[in-house]
Amino acid sequence: MRAASHRTRIYEEPGRIDAASWDALVAADPDSNPFLQHAYLDALHSSGAAIARTGWQPQYVTLWRGEDLVAAVPLYAKAHSYGEYVFDWSWAQAQERLGVPYYPKWLVAVPFTPVNGTRLIAVDADARRAAATALLDVARSQDLSSLHVLFAPPAQIELLAGEGLLVRTGLQFHWCNEDYGSFEDYLAALTQPRRKNVRAERRKVRDAGVVLERRSGADIREQDWNFFVSCYENTYAEHGSPPYLNLDFFLALGRNMPGNLMLVLALRDGRPVASALAVIDRDRSVLYGRYWGAVVHVPCLHFECCYYQMIEFAIEQRLRVLEGGAQGVHKLSRGLDPVPTQSAHWLREPQMRAAVARFVNSERRAVIATIDELNEHRALRSPLAACDNAGATQGPQT
């Protein structure tokens, strides 16, 4: 298979792609992030989290100029819609009612990771256009119901929309560092009621005898990972669902990406009771809040671990953005602002495509109206201003 002057290869395991070539490609793309690094994607596969047996069959599309990897797309054949955070369950039900199977489908995303970033990874515009062509050739040549490209940057969404894909708008919450010198400076920027509320929540945690520690890189020990995973699993158990990730995955991150990790530990009487994980992107000055959990209930501890500790760390490290992840209007009152996300969708069935086109147009208007309304109730006293960071100016788990 060829796209213009490029040779196309498809890989069923990310581990079969040369790590140095992949990471050089990711580093060359201005919209990349740590979740696209070879170590992260390979950990998802080697740990058994994102494999065919769990409904994630990798079909990574790669483009080569000679021996040089110049473009790639993290493509999966999906047997369900779990772990995506752009919800299409109603689309699946509607298509099934037409008597046409919705699964399997094609998905371009980082599994279980609702983070904005490049999806047509490329060294230049020519390679990116070739990657889009190759991706659509794969989708249209095989008998799967649809193609979904999630959390892509605006320019790539525009490129795919030009090829006839439908654009869907979503909503996240991001925090922007307006050059705060300390957490107290940040508090001073909040409206008085919000500032009072944050201080009250932090006081409740202190009064409960909880001490917070932050550990980064090699300071995160195996016993810390063991405890964190127990917290992570407990969160899923409380929601009545099995966890997507496992200890092997997190240990692999600890070994292979230590410089990108920060772990919050909450201790009471010297014993850990809760934990939260963040991923650091120093190149783009972004902190990504990811997972959290607790083994005992302490009022307001979730807010302390997932927001206040993360914000404090971002200020200390002079990071520009904290991405709070999918969902959660409660983030608004803690200084995070609503920002839009975008995804692109192709559906093979004409009747479904027409129905989805009407839906995404209506949904887009509703999301924009919601953002406008939320911005009227933001916690910060200063005027709304987009962060000067590619990961936060689009438009936007703990």
Q: Do 201 and 119 reside in the same domain of the chain?
A: no
Report whether 293 contacts 263 (CB < 8 A): no
pLDDT at residue number 377: 84
Q: Do 129 and 152 reside in the same domain of the chain?
A: yes
Q: Do 165 and 186 reside in the same domain of the chain?
A: no
DSSP-based three-state secondary structure for 287: strand
Alpha-helix runs per DSSP H in 240-349: 247-256, 301-303, 309-317
Q: Do 292 and 257 reside in the same domain of the chain?
A: yes
Report whether 294 contacts 231 (CB < 8 A): yes
Nearest alpha-carbon partner for 317 in 265, 260, 277 = 260
Q: Tell me the CB-side half-sphere exposure of residue 78, using CA atoms within 13 A.
A: 24
Contacts of 80 (CB under 8 A, 6+ apart): 55, 103
Q: How many CB atoms lie within 10 A of CB 134?
A: 26
Q: What is the dihedral of CA 306, 41, 163, 348, to 10 degrees?
A: -100
Q: Do 144 and 183 reside in the same domain of the chain?
A: no
Report whether 110 contacts 150 (CB < 8 A): no
- What phi-psi label fits residue 240: left (phi over 0), alpha (psi between -120 and 50 degrees) or beta? left
Q: Please name the amino acid found at residue 141.
A: S
Q: Do 218 and 162 reside in the same domain of the chain?
A: no
Q: Do 50 and 130 reside in the same domain of the chain?
A: yes
Is the residue at 252 inside a domain? yes
Is the residue at 391 inside a domain? no
Looking up tokens 């790669």 gives: 62
pLDDT in tens, 56-102: 999 999 999 999 999 999 999 999 999 999 999 999 999 999 999 99
pLDDT at residue number 329: 79
Is the residue at 327 inside a domain? no
Token pair of 305 as six digits: 């671990």
Domain limits for position 195: 178-319
pLDDT at residue number 397: 40
Is the residue at 32 inside a domain? yes
Q: Do 201 and 236 reside in the same domain of the chain?
A: yes
**Total domain count, the chain:** 2
Q: Tell me the CB-side half-sphere exposure of residue 30, using CA atoms within 13 A.
A: 8
Write out residues in the chain with pLDDT < 50, as ranges: 1-3, 388-398
Is the residue at 332 inside a domain? no
Token pair of 372 as six digits: 């406008």
Contacts of 152 (CB under 8 A, 6+ apart): 108, 116, 117, 118, 119, 120, 160, 342, 343, 344
Q: Do 127 and 207 reside in the same domain of the chain?
A: no
Q: Please provide the size of the chain in residues.
A: 398
Cα separation, 352 vs 372, whole angstroms: 30
Is the residue at 370 inside a domain? yes
Domain containing 44 — which CATH number? 3.40.630.30
Is the residue at 191 inside a domain? yes
Report whether 140 contacts 13 (CB < 8 A): no
Q: Please name the amino acid found at residue 163.
A: E
Is the residue at 22 inside a domain? yes
Q: How many CB atoms lie within 10 A of CB 202?
A: 18
Q: Do 277 and 293 reside in the same domain of the chain?
A: yes
Report whether 250 contacts 229 (CB < 8 A): yes
Q: What's the order of all strands across the beta sheet hosting 105-108?
A: 56-58, 75-78, 105-108, 146-149, 337-347, 166-176, 321-326, 286-294, 271-281, 261-268, 210-216
Q: Do 113 and 227 reside in the same domain of the chain?
A: no
CA dihedral sign of residues 369, 373, 375, 378:
negative
Q: Do 57 and 131 reside in the same domain of the chain?
A: yes
CA dihedral sign of residues 211, 217, 223, 224:
positive
